[in-house]
């Protein structure tokens, strides 16, 4: 009788305790399928963190954190007409990416950047538009144009240009004077991949030749403000001497009164479109006639577009304007 009593008591205790056992221990175990999310282990790669550039907004002073893809879309949209050929846009995207990578490596040497990689100030750095600025620029054509830019960028997103295992100085300009110029003739430094190449297709670019005139008083004011002790003399017609030019047409040196100027200096002083220019005195004014637009070094954008229109792809364009370089993925 006592044995039956203890058996009955044990059974009651078991039945009472069952609700306290966690349900997950009672549920049948399900195998982990390919669609399941396994726990993160040392062998599991975490999601790749989106890489961003830090861009100093030259208007607000704020530092913008911009994903690389968005930055390249904004840089290409700011630097090259969206109407250009797709292969030219791709070439610009690779050049813009290369420029950004090189500048980011040097940014810690420039305290004026306040910790940013570079600025959007087009007078000092590569130009860049935010998505909002592109919307204002393109207006009703925003969706179509943005998609075209995005397609070009996506096709070359991880590619940059190298020379001897370093990102190159990916200089570019709107159009040459018929030949691009060597870095040595413009900046004074010999760079193996920034040499003069034929770009005669630029001559058919819009506004290839432009003229601007200044009165003698304007010329005197601007020149004397830029060079202390300059004396021009009374023979106004002969204030400027005969220029010394490079094979590409860049004015290397030209006398102005008692001083010698480089073409780049006069380009800055008078706001000329390029340093490929002539100057003449006509109808009591000095007339500067320029050819091309920009510093003339590296890739000509109009030249790139002309090559693309004739069937060249972005790799051929970049190899032509940056000889002895190679494109690598990063």
pLDDT digits (tens, 9 = 90+) for 128-166: 999 999 999 999 999 999 999 999 999 999 999 999 999
Q: How many residues does the chain have?
A: 330
- In this structure, the number of other CB atoms found within 10 A of the CB of residue 36 comes to 8
Half-sphere exposure of 286 (CA within 13 A, CB side): 23
Whether the predicted pLDDT of 310 surpasses 50: yes
- Amino acid 65: pLDDT: 96
- Residue 110: pLDDT band by 50, 70, 90 thresholds? confident
- Binning pLDDT at 50, 70 and 90, where does residue 324 land? very high
In 3-state terms, what secondary structure has residue 291? strand
The band of 49, judged by pLDDT with boundaries at 50, 70 and 90, is low
| Element at 71 (helix H, strand E) | helix 68-79
Q: pLDDT-based confidence at 54, cuts 50/70/90?
A: very high
CA 175, CA 84: separation in Å to the nearest integer? Answer: 13
Share of the chain above pLDDT 70, in %: 85
In contact, 78 and 301? CB cutoff 8 Å: no
pLDDT tens profile 187-211: 999 999 999 999 999 999 999 999 9
Number of Cβ within 10 Å of residue 319's Cβ equals 17
How many Å apart are CA 118 and CA 115, to the nearest integer? Answer: 9
pTM: 0.83
Residue 327 to residue 330: CA distance in whole angstroms: 10
DSSP label at residue 67: E
């Amino acid at each position: 009788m006592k044995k039956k009593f203890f058996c009955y008591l044990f059974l009651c205790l078991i039945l009472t305790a069952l609700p306290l056992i966690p349900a997950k221990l009672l549920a049948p175990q399900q195998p982990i399928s390919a669609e399941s999310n396994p726990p993160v282990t040392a062998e599991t790669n975490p999601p790749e963190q989106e890489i961003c550039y830090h861009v100093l907004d030259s208007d607000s002073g704020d530092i913008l954190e911009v994903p690389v893809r968005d930055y390249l879309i904004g840089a290409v949209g700011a630097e090259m007409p969206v109407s250009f050929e797709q292969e030219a846009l791709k070439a610009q995207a690779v050049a813009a990416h290369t420029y950004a990578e090189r500048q980011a490596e040097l940014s810690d040497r420039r305290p004026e950047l306040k910790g940013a990689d570079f600025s959007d100030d087009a007078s000092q750095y590569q130009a860049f538009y935010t998505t909002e600025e592109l919307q204002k620029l393109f207006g009703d054509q925003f969706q179509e144009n943005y998609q075209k830019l995005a397609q070009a960028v996506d096709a070359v997103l991880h590619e940059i240009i190298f020379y001897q295992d370093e990102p190159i100085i990916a200089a570019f300009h709107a159009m040459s004077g018929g030949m691009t110029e060597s870095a040595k003739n413009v900046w004074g430094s010999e760079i193996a991949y920034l040499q003069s190449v034929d770009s005669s297709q630029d001559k058919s670019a819009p506004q290839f030749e432009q003229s601007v005139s200044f009165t003698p008083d304007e010329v005197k004011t601007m020149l004397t403000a830029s060079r202390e002790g300059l004396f021009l003399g009374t023979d106004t017609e002969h204030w400027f001497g005969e220029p010394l030019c490079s094979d590409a047409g860049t004015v290397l040196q030209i006398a102005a009164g008692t001083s010698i100027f480089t073409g780049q200096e006069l380009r800055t002083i008078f706001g000329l479109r390029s340093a490929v220019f002539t100057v003449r005195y006509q109808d009591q004014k000095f007339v500067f006639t320029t050819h091309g637009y920009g510093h003339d070094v590296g890739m000509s954008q109009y030249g790139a577009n002309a090559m693309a229109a004739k069937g060249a792809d972005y790799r051929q364009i970049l190899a032509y304007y940056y000889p002895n370089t190679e494109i690598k993925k990063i």
